[in-house]
Amino acid sequence: MKTTPKSPLRDIVARNMRKLRSERGWSQEFLANESGLNRTYLSAVERSEQNISIDNLHRVAQGFGVEAWMLLKP
């Protein structure tokens, strides 16, 4: 898996994804199904190991039913 240098924004997205999942009682598998993405990919994003594209950020936000900017907000 190709990784890019870690950034503070990547950590914010990861933290927000984990928080939303936790608040809703969702597993990574459930979020993967809701967003149409692979569970292992989402797991790597949540650990800040994988950079997320704008398109996939949008898909995750749709899975949660929130605006994409909410995943970027500190």
Domain presence at residue 38? yes
Domain presence at residue 3? no
What pLDDT score does 3 carry?
57
The pLDDT tens digits for 1-40 are 565 577 899 999 999 999 999 999 999 999 999 999 999 9
The pLDDT tens digits for 49-59 are 999 999 999 99
Domain presence at residue 31? yes
Residue 10's contacts (CB-CB under 8 Å, 6 or more residues apart) are 48, 51, 52
pLDDT at 74 over 80: yes
- pTM here is 0.90
Q: Which two tokens stand for residue 14?
A: 């990861």
Question: In which element (H, E) is residue 9 found?
Answer: helix 8-24
Residue 9's contacts (CB-CB under 8 Å, 6 or more residues apart) are 72
Domain presence at residue 24? yes
Q: Which domain holds residue 59?
A: 8-72
Domain presence at residue 29? yes
The enclosing domain of 33 has a CATH number of 1.10.260.40
What pLDDT score does 7 carry?
86
Domain presence at residue 61? yes
CA 42 to chain centre: 6
